[in-house]
């Protein structure tokens, strides 16, 4: 059965980006890319993903700034949904589906596209919360960086009960996987 997972890095005080959407606090840290809860092993099990428009535009602005659009390459090979009410710039040839449909309906489409593999809700935190509100979030996997920011984009601005399934240090981070406790 496919799991719907939120895999992300966060500051100790629960922010996934600073108030200006910078991830400088994250990219300055060390991690073992073959270590516990590593990204490569995680993403190998993912068959579809979803994100909000700020995250999508961050990818465009930071990965491709200065390059002509024909050189842009969407970093994912799996079907991807981007939640937005706006018309956004597109990656030529990428399987990116813009939507403002109900999350439950998009979740059904993602399950079908993923063919038994897991679903990754990339972020931001409120979008993950919208899936949690519908009882559609199964796991939260976090890399906690040794830093506080005091303000920024929230990790998960909801009340969600979690059960710790595994935890381990990885470089500068403490990495943990939690199951969402469903009532």
Ligand X SMILES: NC(=O)c1ccc[n+]([C@@H]2O[C@H](COP(=O)([O-])OP(=O)(O)OC[C@H]3O[C@@H](n4cnc5c(N)ncnc54)[C@H](OP(=O)(O)O)[C@@H]3O)[C@@H](O)[C@H]2O)c1
Residues forming contacts to ligand X in the complex (CB under 6 A) are: 8-9, 16-17, 21, 23, 26, 51-55, 58, 83-86, 100, 103, 122-127, 130, 153
Identify the bridge partners of residue 49 per DSSP, sorted by sequence position: 80, 120
**Whole-number minimum distance, CB 9 to ligand X, in Å?**
4
What residue is closest to ligand X based on CB? 52
Which residues neighbour 30 within 8 Å (Cβ) at sequence distance 6 or greater?
171, 172
3-state secondary structure (DSSP) of residue 176:
strand
Euclidean distance between CA atoms 83 and 92, whole angstroms? 18
> Among residues 119 and 122, whose Cβ is nearest to ligand X?
122
**Whole-number minimum distance, CB 114 to ligand X, in Å?**
19
* CA-only gyration radius of the chain, Å: 16
CA neighbor of 148 nearest in space, from 18, 41, 50, 36: 18
**Whole-number minimum distance, CB 165 to ligand X, in Å?**
20
**Whole-number minimum distance, CB 135 to ligand X, in Å?**
16
> Among residues 51 and 113, whose Cβ is nearest to ligand X?
51
Diameter over CA atoms, the chain: 49
> Among residues 47 and 124, whose Cβ is nearest to ligand X?
124
> Among residues 59 and 179, whose Cβ is nearest to ligand X?
59
């Amino acid at each position: 059965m496919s799991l719907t997972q939120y895999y992300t890095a966060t500051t100790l005080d629960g922010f996934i980006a600073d108030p200006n959407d910078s991830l400088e606090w994250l990219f300055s840290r060390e991690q073992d890319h073959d270590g516990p809860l590593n990204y490569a092993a995680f993403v190998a099990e993912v068959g579809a993903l979803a994100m909000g428009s700020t995250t999508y535009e961050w990818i465009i602005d930071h990965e491709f700034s200065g390059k002509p659009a024909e050189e842009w390459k969407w970093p994912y090979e799996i079907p991807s949904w981007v939640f937005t009410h706006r018309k956004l710039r597109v990656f030529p040839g990428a399987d990116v589906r813009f939507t403002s449909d109900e999350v439950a309906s998009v979740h059904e489409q993602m399950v079908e596209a993923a063919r038994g593999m897991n679903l990754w809700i990339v972020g931001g935190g409120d979008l993950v919360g919208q899936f949690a509100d519908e009882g559609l979030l199964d796991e939260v996997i976090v890399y906690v960086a040794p830093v506080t920011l005091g303000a920024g984009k929230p990790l998960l601005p909801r009340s969600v009960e979690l059960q710790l399934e595994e935890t381990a240090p990885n470089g500068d981070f403490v990495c943990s996987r939690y199951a969402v406790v469903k009532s």
